[in-house]
Homo-oligomer: A and B are copies of this chain.
Amino acid sequence: MRFKKVTIVGIGLIGGSLGLALRKKFPGIEVIGLSRSLQKIARAKKKGLIDWGSRDPRKAFSNADLIVIATPVSLIFQWIREAEKWAKPGTVVTDVGSTKGEIVRRAEREKFRNIRFVGSHPMAGSHESGMEFAEKDLFKGSLVFVAKTRQTDSGALKAMIVFWKKICGKVIVLDPVKHDRIVADISHIPHALASLLVQNVPSRSLPFASSGFLDTTRVAQGDPRLWTDIFRTNKTSILRGLSIYRKALDRFAAGLRSRQEGILYRFLAKSSKIRRDWKSF
């Protein structure tokens, strides 16, 4: 591991799990936590998620050779700016936000001279949030996206690839705009559809739900603040996907209304096959 001192901003489910993984798997690394709350810092230290923490970005950032911003999406950019102010020249800065297009675009527009920013998105987490749910193996075997554009510093990119390979399973390097399309398809649109389902089931039927319904709607439990940020910053891809979905829904309803069993069977067989044949990247 190239990085010896890692500062994590925001000690929630993701930041806390990352700190724990780093401390357990790489005993030579110093993990510093940056949080606005002294209470959280104390709790994180007690739980072994960080070595030490601070509310002061100057102190937490000037000690780091890698800064990982693990805050909600809407706060990431201001923390990149803080890192630029206080970090040592050449410090690699990354984030773990669920959308990458907007943040990379804003970071590149800013033309930082001090830090080297590379956006990341480890596909790990759950519908829970907060350091209480932090786990050493949250990232184990999971996929991580690392955003690359023509402006990305190649040394920092390589270092991030090596870093994530040690923490997660597979690393996918790709354009941030393409990233946002993919996560709209496989995460944000499903979240919207599950949330819509939960709200539109008549309350008299809801108590009879069983495992199928509960699995289908599990993601809708997610923190609404985090998800508001995600939807706001990936609006275009989500709206495009929802529009395709809506047309397919209309076709399905028309097919069902038409009483043509063959259409219905082929529709169900196609979905069943795609889902059963699904293989991870």
Residue from the list B181, B192, B207, B242 in contact with A205, Cβ < 8 A: B181
Q: How many residues of A contact B (CB 8 A)?
A: 86
Q: How many copies does the complex hold?
A: 2
Chain A 255-272, CB-CB to B under 8 Å as 1, else 0, gives 011010100110111111
List residues of chain B with CB within 8 A of the CB of A228: 261, 264-265, 268
| CB of A189 within 8 Å of the partner chain | yes
- The distance in angstroms between the C-alpha atoms of A276 and B198, with both chains bound, is 10
Contact indicator B210/A123 (Cβ below 8 Å): yes
**A contact patch SS:** helix
- The distance in angstroms between the C-alpha atoms of A246 and B124, with both chains bound, is 31
Nearest Cβ in chain B — how far from A195, in angstroms? 4
Also in contact, A221 and B275, with CB within 8 A (given A193-B216, A281-B208)? yes
Contact indicator B186/A231 (Cβ below 8 Å): no
List residues of chain B with CB within 8 A of the CB of A102: none
Nearest Cβ in chain B — how far from A28, in angstroms? 30
Contact indicator A278/B206 (Cβ below 8 Å): yes
Also in contact, A208 and B172, with CB within 8 A (given A248-B196, A250-B246)? yes
- The distance in angstroms between the C-alpha atoms of A213 and B238, with both chains bound, is 15
Residue from the list B183, B198, B205, B244 in contact with A271, Cβ < 8 A: B198
Nearest Cβ in chain B — how far from A186, in angstroms? 4
- The distance in angstroms between the C-alpha atoms of A174 and B190, with both chains bound, is 33
- Please give me the residue from chain B that is nearest to A232 by CB atom: B261
Also in contact, A210 and B143, with CB within 8 A (given A196-B252, A205-B181, A216-B193)? yes
- The distance in angstroms between the C-alpha atoms of A106 and B227, with both chains bound, is 48
Nearest Cβ in chain B — how far from A164, in angstroms? 15
| CB of A27 within 8 Å of the partner chain | no
Residues of A within 8 A of B (CB): 123-124, 126-127, 142-143, 172, 181-183, 185-187, 189-202, 204-225, 227-228, 231-232, 235, 238-239, 241-246, 248-250, 252-253, 256-257, 259, 261, 264-265, 267-272, 274-276, 278-281
